[in-house]
Structure formats: structure tokens, C-alpha cells
Structure 1
Amino acid sequence: MEIQHTNVSYTWGEPGGDETDETWSKPSQTILIDGCEMRIRKNLYNALIAFCQSGILGPIWIDALCINQNDIEERNAQVSQMANIYKNSEEVIVWLGHEREYTRTAVACFQRLPITRQELLSDEHVVSRDKAFASCSFTDLELIAMTRFFTDHAWFGRTWTLQEMWLAREMTFMCGTIYASVDVILTGSSIAHDSYSTRSATEDSQRTPAITWLMNFTYDLVAKLRKEVDGTSPSPLGFEVGYHRARHATDPRDKVYGLLAISDTTTVDNYMEPVVADYSKPVREVFSIAAAHCLLNTTSWRGLSYIGDHSRYRIPNLPSWVPDYTQAIPWRLLQRRSEDTFKTATHQQVCIEYDINSPYTIYSPYSYFDTITAVTTAYWEDIEGYSQMIEILNLALNPFPVNTSGGDNALSAMARTLTADQAGIYDYDSYDFVDQFGEMTYGMLWLGISNHPDMAYQLVKNPEASLSKALSFIGIRDREDLLSSLLRSYRQIYKTEEQRKLESKPTESPDQSLKVRTSLIQLD
């Protein structure tokens, strides 16, 4: 017989995320359980006091009290039961900590917004949200309060609380003596999130971890509520672990185990046994299993997209193909379509083999990787100029050749590989990404050589020869396929001096409608 109970979702440490204060991070308060004293952490103690004062009575399930954290076997067993524990509870109370000076203002602003859950979950949510926001005329102080409600509370950025939110049938948020429903929190987070979602790549790189909490939480809450309506299947564990790297966990292994109950823990063709919690395994092995799970559920190497910079890793001795899941990745990368975040230079699928008895090695009949690491950034900003384009061109073409198949050419292969960072921004049905990449490549190279008078002169006289020389100048030699790809779209625009006299009036190519305006210049 199931006992009706309430679950508490809270952070073990300081509610604002300060992990340096030991009065919060270690048990410092004493309570009585069946006449026996037990030491608990301060945030849980504050929650219990608030529950008593508010008339919230048991049965209440609390992880720190119901699981012996020092018994590995019990931890393993209880983590595997987490889905049932939360799904069978009448309600989950989210304890955010004591009320702050802006809490009442923030919640009151959330409640003022004239928008429903159905509107926020609909395809027209942007229009509805903008209309609701415009009707409220919030002051700057109110907007700051609304944002701080999410960025100042560590609950919104923890791994375990994400799973607890997804599993809850009903939720009530509690901050001191202030209560808020899921719908109120959904409305507030959507508005606060919207003020950051359109920022540029430069601003994105300056975003604080707390803002990332807000961005992640909004997407996750919307996904949870939509799942309740349409019943979508859970995502693979490897994807979830990579997607939620910005979330925090006291035990690094919980970056994986804290997501088991809301993920698909199987692999394609059941190549691996379903992942289960086992706290006897070292962090290195747990992360390797998660990375292998990600690779085995794909037909490409896109699972390697988020490897990152090994010099910044916190977890020692990780294999080169395994990400450090304690390291966050830029939010902008998380917005890309998962199938496009990493592509090799060809369309061929890859085959990956993994043996759980040798957890630190992956095999592929087609490819061999000694070391994989991040070499350069992939943001495209006007301020970066042509030098970064030349750097990436050299990185792609030298010393490794680009081998293509079918009717592919070197330019399209490079476009797919080097612009993976841009995946998902454009609608591929209406935007010819490869051609646009070619135009950008040509323009960047022209900008680079235009600073050299001799090379600029040669470009006007004979584009093909001068571009070949320009490519050689930056270290790309004997690449006729690349040169042909670059020039293909421009042969009718840039005629040689012998084919077209430079004039001061517009001219029209006989087989193109594009008009080209030239100026009368002196060629010495």
C-alpha cells in the first residue's frame, strides 16, 4: 500500500549558491527523529521550521533523512527508485529559502501578467508573451526583481532539482511565507528569459552562470509541461547529460545519476546495458559511460562537439573523447539542432564500438583519434575580421586533406564542418548555407589580399591566378578543388581585363542579370 506523502525539493547548501560558507555546506543544526538526535544542514532546517509555521504536516519524504548517504548500496537502490518516489507523491514543495527584499515584488509582477499556460505552450507563445509584457509597463526595479528571483536562487541551477521538477505531478514554490504556483513561475521565467534570449554571441560569452540557470530552467519547465500534454518520449541519457552541463551537483557523478529517472538509459540496438547508479565507480568511469552512451545513440561524431578545452578540466585523467561534464558550455551552442552540432567532412555514417569492461576506450572501423581538443572558437562576429577565417581555413585544410564523396566539393564539405556552430540558426529550406559560406570565404580572402597592391592588381587582371597565389600565401597549396569552388559563382562577375574594359557606367553580363558597377581606375 502506497502511503500518500509530500516531497520536498531543495538545495543542500546555501540557497543562493554560496558553497564556501560551512554553516550551510555542512550539517550544523540538530533535530529529533523518534527521540534520536540528527544533524542536518541549515537550509533543510529552515525549511522544516517554515513548514511547521505554515501548517504543512507529514508524511514528508526528504532525501537527507530517508536515505543513508554513507551507505553506497542504499544510495544505489534509492536513486533507482527516485522516479517512483516523486511520481507517487501528492505534491512536491519547492523550498527556495527565506524571503528576500525583492521576493514579494517579483511574485506580484508575475501574477500581473495577463497570459495563460496554454498561451505560453502554444506555437504563438512569442506574440502572446510580448503582448502581455507590453500591457504591464514594468519599472526597471520590477524587471530586476523578476530576474533576480531566478538568478539568486541556486535551486534553479541544480541537477537533482531538475529531475525532481520533471517527476512532480503537482508543484508549489515556497520562498519564506510566499507561495507561487507552477503557472505563476512559468509566466515569470518566460518574461525574464525573453530579455536575454536574443543577445549576441559577444554578450552570450559574458553571461553569468546564474543567467544560464534561468535560460535552462525556462526551457525545461516548458518541455515538462508540454510532455504532460503530448506524452513525448524521454531523450537519451547522453544528450541530457551534455545539455545540462551548466547545472551543479555536489558529487560530480550526480551530473549523470541525477538525470537517470528522466532519461532514456538504453542505447540503439541495446548495445550497452541500461545505465544504473553505482557510487562505487569513480567519476572518470561514470563520465566515460555517459560519453559512450551519447556516441552510440548517434550516427556521427557529434557527441565530440562539446569536448572543450582539456586545460580547463576539473576531473583528472579523462580520456580525450570524454567531456568534463562539470564544465559548462556556451548557451548559444545548446540552441543548435542536435543533429548539426558536429559533422565530419563527409556524409558517411560512422560505426562506434564500446566495451564496458574497457570503459576508457572507443573504437571505430573508419576513424582513429589520438587526441581530440578544442583549437579555436567558432563565433562569427564582424569584429573578428578576415584573419580568423584564414586561421580556420588553414586549420581545416592543412595538414589534413578534405576527402569528399559523390557530387560534393571541398567548399561544401568545409561549410558543413566549420559552420557547425551556426547550425539551427537558419531554415535550410530557404537559406543556401553553402553558397553563403562561399561568398563569405571569397570576401574574406579578397579583403585580406586587398591590402597588398600587387595582389589586388592581379585579382582584377586574372582572378583565378591571383586567388591561387593568395591561397598559397596563407599556406593552402595545390587545392584546385577549393579554388574552383570559390570561383564558380563569380566567373561571370569578375571578367579579366582582356574580356571587359573597365568603365564608369553599369554593365550587364550577357548570361546573368546581376549588374556590376565599376570605376575608372589607373592600372600601372
Structure 2
Amino acid sequence: MESNSAEAPPPTASDVLFQHTPLDLHRKQMRLLRITQNNSSEIKCELENFTYDVSGKQGTPPYWALSYVWGAESPICHITINGKPYPIRPNLYNFLRERRLQSDDNYIWIDQICINQRSVDERNHQVSLMSEIYRNANGVIIWLGKRDEEAELGLRCFQEFQNPYYCDLSEFLHLPAGTTAGKANIGKWVFLDGGPKLKEKVIRSINVIFRNPFWTRLWIVQEVLLGRTVFVQQGSLWFHLDAMSRFERMGFRCDGLIASPEVAFTARGHTAAWYRQRDLKWMISEFCEFGCQDPRDKVYGLVGVVECGTTVPVDYGKSAEEVFIDVIIAFLHMWKTESQEPDKVRKELKHDVQTLYRLVVNMIPDKVERYFEKNDQDHFRFRLEKLDEWWRATERGKNDDRK
């Protein structure tokens, strides 16, 4: 029998899925996630909006910040936030599942959840505040992913490096009871007294850790430099990043160890306060070859660390090419603070061509020839007509500011 009434439409995603409560983008606001403890097989969480003052210590509860790889988009996993389902990627789901097992109800900041990724305005607002978010957190958790048996020996070795002069290797190296390894200097024992087979086994496991895609991320620069304390976790095993720093310092003993520049920086960087005193030009030159999915983050992933000199405003409404032009304009303003003479600015440019070339190659490789050309010595130089174009634009901006 036909019905005269219209059939009700199926529910849309907006009716079913969790929707973020908007942030006040004119204030310093952020969201924090907390896993609620229960016996359900689901991962149930609460997400709350908080307003904080300049110091970041008023208006927000203690929280941790997560540093991780977003990873594969599928299969989509669902958690429950404020009573409604919310889709996340598998790597983050594995972290939250492990976090729940620790019976830890502390708040945590996770960009994939705490930022409404569908809102460009909110992404701009939150990325601009990200340096404060990481700096004011109790600490940073580096998540390497779910348990990996091949990495466990290396993880436990790093755990022991947290107290390198008094540690017990007997259990996880399956040594006989009463071995002298129990209270010895771990570096000396593993890499000298333990013999070549043990050394090879440990290094092979550590190389598995070092090959983790996490270490290729550009965002680790900001997250590691700004964290008060940094822990590394894979599965249920974790260690303080200081342990990796100790290990990295004795790398000359470790033939066969494959540590990328990113790994070496992460091991040392969090103890080097002078990094935070570098300008944008230096940071781009040093780190623009680190990896990120969004080419605009070759710049935006570094501006939060820059504490001096000219910077670039975060605007995800711009294309990668427009962000590169913003960097050029920032460089021009920096040079013009020292000289009003176009010829001297061009001379300064010669010192920075390599930095700009590396940046454009990493952001918009299909448009390199638009900004650079080769000379007879196969060296690149900036197209001066482009510089003149931007020079005139900055002069117009300067005049507009005077009106």
C-alpha cells in the first residue's frame, strides 16, 4: 500500500557525527580531549573548549600535547566524543586505545581532534597559537605507533639509557642470573663487553625505530623544541627523549646505525635553546627539507619557533605559491630594515638564493623556473624582474601604511 506521506530522509553526517563547538577566534582559546574511564569496548572521550591568558596557566587544566604521524586515512576508525561518533585515522586510534589502558584521565591536545580541520579560519587561529599550546603543556608525547616486536629490544635499551650508570639488562637480553651486566654502564656493556652478536642485535632493533616515518616530519622541530619534557612511546613501552640524546652522543661506537638528520636533530634539539633564537631565514634553510603532507607547512610548521625578526602570518586560505611569495616579501622587509638601497638589497639576496631555491623546490617544484634561472656555471639565481616586481609592491605597501 502506498503512503501519502513523504518518506523521512536518511540522517546526514551533521545529524550523527560529533560537531565542534566553535572557538572564539578573537581570544586565546583551545580544545582539550579527555578519555573517560569505563568498561565499554568503545573509546569514549570528552572534548572541552578553554580560554587561557597570556601565560597559558589560567583557564586550562594540566594537559599533554601529542606529536605523531597522521598516517593512512583508511580504514576509518570511530571514537565517541561527547556522546557522538567521530572518525579518526588508525594511528591515532591505536594511541587512544593504548592511552586508555593506562587509566590516565589527563587532558591531551591532539591536532586531528582538537582543531576543526574543516574550518580554514580555525586552522589559521590554532596553528598561530601552536607554539604556546606546546610550550604550556606539561610535556610532549611522541607516538611511534602500535607495538612492533622488532623494535622492542631497541625501546628497552633506550629505557635503560634513562639511567645509564645503574641499569639491569639481564631480563630483556635473556642473560643468565648473576651476570655482571646488571649494574654496569650500559653503553660500555652493550657495545664493548657484550660482544659483536649482541651489539648487532641491539643496533638492528634501534634501526627499526629510526626508520619509523615519524622522524621525517617537519613538525617535530616545533614540538620537540618547545616541549618542557618529551617522552617517546611505541605500544606500551616508553622512554624519555634524553635517553636517545645520550645514545646519539655515543654514536661513534655504533657501526651500522642508520640515523637520519631528522633523528639526530630530535635527539639533540630539545636541549638546544639557541635554536629558538634563530630567525625565519635560518629556520627555513635548516629544516625546509623535512617532510610534511601540506607544502605550506614548510613555512607554517616553523613560524611558531621563530622568536625574533620578521615572520609570516598563517593563512591556509593561500596556495603554496602565495605562501612562498609571502616569504619573499618577509625577506625583503628584513633586508630593508638595514638598507633602503635596492642595489644593496639585491646584494643581500645573493646570500639567500640557495635558501629560497631549496624552499621553492620543496613547496612548488613545478614552478621553479618561474622564480629561478641557471647561469653558465649551472648555478641558480633569482629572476631579478621578479625581485623588482615585489620591490615595487613593498614600496606601495609602505606608502599605504603612511596614509
Shorter-chain TM-score bucket reads 0.5 to 0.7
Which of 137, 160, 184 in structure 1 is aligned with 2:219?
Answer: 160
User: What's the offset of the Cα at 1:305?
Assistant: 2.5
Q: Is contact 1:67-1:74 (8 Å) kept? A: yes
Q: Is contact 1:51-1:57 (8 Å) kept? A: no
User: What's the offset of the Cα at 1:237?
Assistant: 1.4
Aligned to 1:317: 367
State whether structure 2 residue 82 is matched by structure 1 residue 39. Answer: no
State whether structure 2 residue 355 is matched by structure 1 residue 289. Answer: no
User: What's the offset of the Cα at 1:96?
Assistant: 0.7
Quickly say closer, same or farther: Cα 1:321–1:38, change in 2 above 3 A: same
State whether structure 2 residue 74 is matched by structure 1 residue 74. Answer: no
User: What's the offset of the Cα at 1:161?
Assistant: 2.6
Give the AA of the match of 2:215.
Answer: F
Which of 234, 239, 242 in structure 1 is aligned with 2:277?
Answer: 234
Q: Is contact 2:288-2:359 (8 Å) kept? A: no
1:149-228 alignment runs, 5 A limit: 149-151=209-211, 153-191=212-250, 214-227=260-273
| Secondary structure in structure 1 of the residue aligned to 2:367 | coil
Aligned to 1:146: 206
Q: Distance in 1 between matches of 2:224 and 2:363?
A: 29
Q: Is contact 2:277-2:308 (8 Å) kept? A: no
Q: Is contact 1:96-1:174 (8 Å) kept? A: yes
Q: Distance in 2 between matches of 1:197 and 1:294?
A: 41
1:343-358 alignment runs, 5 A limit: 355=390, 358=393
Q: Distance in 1 between matches of 2:285 and 2:348?
A: 17
Give the AA of the match of 1:239.
Answer: W
| Secondary structure in structure 1 of the residue aligned to 2:304 | helix
User: What's the offset of the Cα at 1:279?
Assistant: 0.7
User: What's the offset of the Cα at 1:157?
Assistant: 1.2
Q: Distance in 1 between matches of 2:142 and 2:264?
A: 16
Quickly say closer, same or farther: Cα 1:163–1:308, change in 2 above 3 A: closer
1:15-94 alignment runs, 5 A limit: 24-26=72-74, 28-94=76-142
State whether structure 2 residue 300 is matched by structure 1 residue 257. Answer: yes
Give the AA of the match of 1:158.
Answer: R
Quickly say closer, same or farther: Cα 1:103–1:285, change in 2 above 3 A: same
Quickly say closer, same or farther: Cα 1:318–1:104, change in 2 above 3 A: same
Q: Which consecutive unaligned segments of at least 5 residues does structure 2 have?
A: 1-58, 166-184, 336-346, 374-378, 382-386, 395-403
Quickly say closer, same or farther: Cα 1:289–1:247, change in 2 above 3 A: same
Give the AA of the match of 1:139.
Answer: K
Q: How many residues align?
A: 290
Provide Cα deviations, 1:12-52, integer angstroms capped at 9, x if missing partner.
01xxxxxxxxxx22570111111111111111111000000
Q: Is contact 1:6-1:92 (8 Å) kept? A: yes
1:107-506 alignment runs, 5 A limit: 107-111=155-159, 133-134=191-192, 137=195, 138-151=198-211, 153-191=212-250, 214-227=260-273, 233-264=276-307, 266-267=309-310, 274-291=311-328, 293=330, 296=334, 299=348, 301-305=350-354, 307=357, 315-318=365-368, 320-321=370-371, 355=390, 358=393
Quickly say closer, same or farther: Cα 1:135–1:8, change in 2 above 3 A: same
Deviates more, 1:235-244 or 1:293-302: 293-302
Q: Is contact 2:158-2:239 (8 Å) kept? A: no
Quickly say closer, same or farther: Cα 1:353–1:131, change in 2 above 3 A: farther
Q: Distance in 1 between matches of 2:361 and 2:85?
A: 45
Aligned to 1:427: none
Quickly say closer, same or farther: Cα 1:82–1:53, change in 2 above 3 A: same
Quickly say closer, same or farther: Cα 1:312–1:357, change in 2 above 3 A: same
Q: Distance in 1 between matches of 2:152 and 2:193?
A: 20
Give the structure-2-normalised TM-score.
Answer: 0.62
Q: Greater CA radius of gyration, 1 or 2?
A: 1
Give the AA of the match of 2:90.
Answer: K
Q: Distance in 1 between matches of 2:363 and 2:299?
A: 17
| Secondary structure in structure 2 of the residue aligned to 1:139 | helix
State whether structure 2 residue 155 is matched by structure 1 residue 97. Answer: no
Identity score, percent: 25
Q: Considering only aligned residues, what root-mean-square deviation do their CA atoms show, in Å?
A: 3.8
User: What's the offset of the Cα at 1:343?
Assistant: 12
User: What's the offset of the Cα at 1:129?
Assistant: 12
Quickly say closer, same or farther: Cα 1:322–1:255, change in 2 above 3 A: farther
Q: Identify the structure with the greater strand proportion.
A: 2
Provide Cα deviations, 1:153-199, integer angstroms capped at 9, x if missing partner.
1111111232111111112111001011122122334445875899x
User: What's the offset of the Cα at 1:136?
Assistant: 5.6
Quickly say closer, same or farther: Cα 1:353–1:310, change in 2 above 3 A: closer
State whether structure 2 residue 60 is matched by structure 1 residue 2. Answer: yes
Give the AA of the match of 1:316.
Answer: D
Give the structure-1-normalised TM-score.
Answer: 0.48
Q: Is contact 1:94-1:173 (8 Å) kept? A: yes
| Secondary structure in structure 2 of the residue aligned to 1:305 | helix
Provide Cα deviations, 1:259-286, integer angstroms capped at 9, x if missing partner.
111124634xxxxxx3111111110121
User: What's the offset of the Cα at 1:111?
Assistant: 4.7
| Secondary structure in structure 1 of the residue aligned to 2:149 | coil
Q: Which consecutive unaligned segments of at least 5 residues does structure 1 have?
A: 14-23, 117-127, 199-210, 268-273, 324-341, 345-351, 360-524
